[in-house]
Amino acid sequence: MDSFDSIFQRAAKRKGGKEELLLLLPKAKTLAGLKRVKDDAYLAEMTRCVFRSGFVWKIIENKWPGFEAAFHQFDVATCAMMSDEEQEGLTQDAQIVRHAKKIRSVPRNAAFILDVRDSHGSFGTYLATWPATDIVGLWDDLKRRGDRLGGQTGRYFLRFVGKDTPMFSKDVVKALVKLKVVDKEPTSKKALLQAQTAFNTWSQESGRSLCEISRVLACTV
């Protein structure tokens, strides 16, 4: 496996130099920053990511005030208690995207957040204390305990709320394949662990975050 320094140098060459590449690198929130985010904001971002999946993102953004009204400003306890009748009524509400399964994901994800709150005090603490060396474990936990938070949806959620996570975009996957970390997009448990091990190694070598490494990989393609 190539060293991160050699990968960084290739990316910098493609982007016009080190300083230009550094300007492209995303920044994750600090652990304290993650803890400061309120649970309703986490539920809102979960909902935004779930509804964006398979839709033009601009549609969701244009309707977002309607989502906030329909889902009680994403108050977690209130959303968790939404009745079947209320959820059914929202499938006729033109102020949001009327996708029944995605509508049902909101109270289910609110219940997930409440469950996490019982064990960790807040959802932000849960994210902050999850180790970056096992980010694929966090992906799996979101998929198992949340609703419609598997795959890229859960990863986008983490990226947008500021949790350090790589993104397996087409370019990142191409880079991982070229580096012989995996032989195709990692979806199996074995392949995901291989990718995690590579990211952990590069992070230890460079001191850089997972999201920074992910972007550098993409810039080599």
Instruction: List the chain domain ranges.
Output: 4-28+166-219, 32-161
For the chain, percent of residues with pLDDT exceeding 70:
100
Q: For the CA atoms of the chain, what is the radius of gyration? A: 19
Q: Can you spell out the DSSP letters for 155-194? A: HHHHHHHT-------HHHHHHHHHTTS-SSS--SHHHHHH
Residue 194 clears pLDDT 90, i.e. is over it: yes
pTM of the predicted protein model: 0.95
64 — pLDDT class (breaks 50, 70, 90): very high
The token pair that represents 167 in the structure block: 């993104």
How far apart CA 156 and CA 95 sit, in angstroms, is 24
Question: What's the pLDDT tens digit per position in 202-215?
Answer: 999 999 999 999 99
**Architecture of the domain spanning 32-161:** Orthogonal Bundle (1.10)
Report helix angle 189-206 to 135-145, nearest 10: 140
Contacts (Cβ under 8 Å, ≥6 apart) of 68: 44, 74
66 — pLDDT class (breaks 50, 70, 90): very high
The pLDDT of residue 1 is 85
134 — pLDDT class (breaks 50, 70, 90): very high
